[in-house]
Amino acid sequence: MIEVLRRLGRTGLQFFERLGRGHLFLGYVLLGVPEVLSRFRLLVAQVWSVGVLSLVIVLVSGVFVGMVLGLQGYNTLVDFNAEESLGVVVALSLVRELGPVVAALLFAGRAGSALTAEIGLMKATEQLAGMEMMAVDPLRRVVAPRFLAGLLSMPLLAAIFSAVGVLGGWFVGVGLLGVDDGAFWSQMQAKVDLHDDILNGVIKSVVFGIVVTWIAVFEGYDAVPTSEGVGRATTRTVVHSSLAVLGLDFVLTALMFNDI
Amino acid sequence: MTVRGLCFAHGERKIFDGVDLRIARGKVTAIMGPSGTGKTTLLRLIGGQLRPTAGTVTVDGQDVHQLSREKLFQLRKRMGMLFQSGALLTDLSVFDNVAFPLREHTDLPESMIRHLVLMKLEAVGLRGAHGLMPRELSGGMGRRVALARAIALDPMMILYDEPFTGQDPITMGVLVQLIRKLNDSLKLTSVIVSHDVKETSAIADYIYVLSGGKVVGEGSPEALGRTSSPWVRQFLQGLPDGPVPFHYPAPDFLGDLLGGGSP
């Protein structure tokens, strides 16, 4: 009994210790951000590897999610003779929910895991320690540019996801199922609100961007410097950031779309 | 550089228990000891990457562990360290690796950096390899590039972590020569942590032998060769049995075989 309690206490303490380390880490990284802005090339290189290289998976997934939405939406709406509202259904689902959430999940799998593995391996091969001994702070030189790149890329990827998703929905609805082209776009234009829908979606994607990138770089930096440790850290990044995205999505949705 | 009463523990395990060292300016000092005596840990303590539980490390009159982060980084610019793995940045070419500290810490124009990098690479004999990536280098070449990078900022001191481990005889000879040559021509202070007795004794001016968290022998290579300590003699001559037993502590062999207890 005592042993169970002791183990519980130890796990709890370790959890809070890690949480504290993660926050301190974030603080140090944020301190390094202004320096990154003055070294633009470092940032561009990271936006390339974190953002641009994630484009393909985001584009392809976006088109397919939009096409599925078009099909499912049409099948439901056609029973009520409301298939002209297909544009609104597709656009709102994407902009409010699926764009930020699915893009963030893909981002965690594609870019987050790569960030963790890269930083973890740099640690395992003493590259980070080597930098420290050259009086270069790895938090500023390695972590801060990657963090900022993730933070900038994620909202853009979510926006691209939503945009190609709408096109996918349009292709299925208008192109294949014969929904009226004008009604598709004009209803969408009338019903999608800049503030309530688009801005809130952007806010979600920014929050997800921060959380996923933070988890990814922290897991890499905090990884046990062995191949097994890096492997486990990479898994943790994907699991933790996916759970964080889904959990936060509920909280944010409750705050944004419930007029309490 | 002086180390005084250094103690360090990793969890419950004591690694250093009152180590005193004096490292003379301009000399090559070797710190030797069997694997697991914490030689690498010692270098990390000297470089300020770890904090001792007690004792002080003074480099050039400054107590390393009392310095602010900024001052520590200032001091590290004057210390080079050669890691066992080389620790080259794998996404940069050989040229960019050597240029890395120059680009990070100076505002020199690119033409000047090019000259400096080629000079440093020439010193280690690898000017022709400046376009290669670290994965294209052999282990010995990687260490030489790391050495060129360590001297890029013209440090006053270089710390070598096991520079000879796992190298073929030719590479080993090259590294031995290089360390001595660089030390003398650049007026460096070199600290070599190693368990390669022959190579290290060939170039060291002074040797400390560590074991069990303490200094168990010190002196010039010749003086150590005449040591009366059976432990130091066993280590230097590589004898399989002696004060350091061949067998890990175990119960009686016959009893263990016949007892048939747990495996």
pLDDT attached to residue B162: 87
Condensed to tens digits (0 to 9), the pLDDT of residues A87-138 reads 999 999 999 999 999 999 999 999 999 999 999 999 999 899 999 988 899 9
Cα–Cα nearest to B90, from B133, B36, B39, B37: B133
Q: Write the DSSP symbol of residue B16.
A: E
Q: Do A133 and B105 touch (CB under 8 A)?
A: no
Q: Which residues of chain B have pLDDT under 50?
A: none
Residue A5 has pLDDT above 80, yes or no: yes
The whole-angstrom distance between B64's CA and the closest CA on chain A is 13
Distances, alpha carbon B172 to alpha carbons B98, B105, B119, B146, B218, in Å: 22, 32, 22, 15, 24
Distances, alpha carbon B150 to alpha carbons A154, B92, B251, in Å: 38, 16, 49
pLDDT attached to residue A57: 95
Out of B47, B89, B104, name the one closest to residue A133 (CB): B47
Arithmetic mean of pLDDT, A181-204: 91
Cα–Cα nearest to A230, from A85, A125, A89, A92: A125
Q: Which residues pair with B219 in a beta bridge?
A: B207
Out of A130, A135, A141, name the one closest to residue B83 (CB): A130
- Give chain B's largest Cα–Cα span: 76
Alpha helices in chain A (DSSP H): 2-38, 40-50, 55-77, 86-92, 99-107, 113-124, 127-133, 138, 144-170, 181-191, 200-221, 227-257
Interfacial residues of B (vs A; Cβ cutoff 8 Å): 44, 47, 49, 73-74, 76-77, 79-81, 83-85, 87-90, 100-101, 104-105, 146, 149, 153
3-class SS at B138?
coil
- What residues of B are in contact with residue A115 (Cβ under 8 Å)? none
pLDDT attached to residue A259: 60
Cα–Cα nearest to B152, from B98, B199, B195: B98
Out of A126, A133, A141, name the one closest to residue B76 (CB): A133
- Amino acid (1-letter code) at residue B51: R
A41 contact B CB<8A: no
pLDDT attached to residue B263: 56
- What residues of B are in contact with residue A125 (Cβ under 8 Å)? 85, 87, 90
Q: Do B83 and A134 touch (CB under 8 A)?
A: no
A35 contact B CB<8A: no
Highest mean pLDDT among A145-159, A183-197, B118-132, B197-211: A145-159
Q: Do B49 and A133 touch (CB under 8 A)?
A: yes
Question: What does pLDDT average to over chain A?
Answer: 93
Q: Would you tell me which residues 132-191 of chain A have a C-beta closer than 8 angstroms to some C-beta of chain B? A: 132-137, 141
Cβ atoms of A164 and A65 closer than 8 Å = no
> What six digits make up the tokens of A134?
């050259």
Backbone angles phi, psi at B17, to 5 degrees: -135, 80
Chain B, nearest residue to A126 by Cα: B87
Chain A, nearest residue to B103 by Cα: A136
Count of CB atoms situated within 10 Å of the CB of B134? 21
- CA B127, B167, A130, B186 dihedral sign is negative
pLDDT attached to residue A196: 85
ipTM: 0.81
The whole-angstrom distance between A122's CA and the closest CA on chain B is 8
Chain A, nearest residue to B99 by Cα: A134
- What residues of B are in contact with residue A132 (Cβ under 8 Å)? 47, 49, 76
Condensed to tens digits (0 to 9), the pLDDT of residues A70-85 reads 999 999 999 999 988 9
Chain B, nearest residue to A124 by Cα: B87
Cβ atoms of A234 and A179 closer than 8 Å = no
Residue A260 has pLDDT above 60, yes or no: no
Q: Do A135 and B81 touch (CB under 8 A)?
A: no
* Residues B86, A241: Cα–Cα separation, whole Å: 34
3-class SS at B206?
strand
Arithmetic mean of pLDDT, A149-177: 95
pLDDT attached to residue B8: 87
Out of B49, B88, B146, name the one closest to residue A129 (CB): B49
pLDDT attached to residue B121: 92
Q: How many CB pairs under 8 A join A and B?
A: 53
Residue A143 has pLDDT above 90, yes or no: yes
- What residues of B are in contact with residue A127 (Cβ under 8 Å)? 87-90
pLDDT attached to residue A215: 96
Selected for mutation to probe chain A from B49, B67, B83 (highest A CB count within 10 Å) is B83
* Residues B74, A222: Cα–Cα separation, whole Å: 26
How far does Cα B249 stand from its chain's mean position? Answer: 30
Cβ atoms of A245 and A108 closer than 8 Å = yes
Backbone angles phi, psi at B212, to 5 degrees: 55, 35
Distances, alpha carbon A147 to alpha carbons A83, A140, B29, B78, B218, in Å: 43, 10, 42, 30, 49
Cα–Cα nearest to A206, from A170, A165, A248: A248
pTM: 0.86
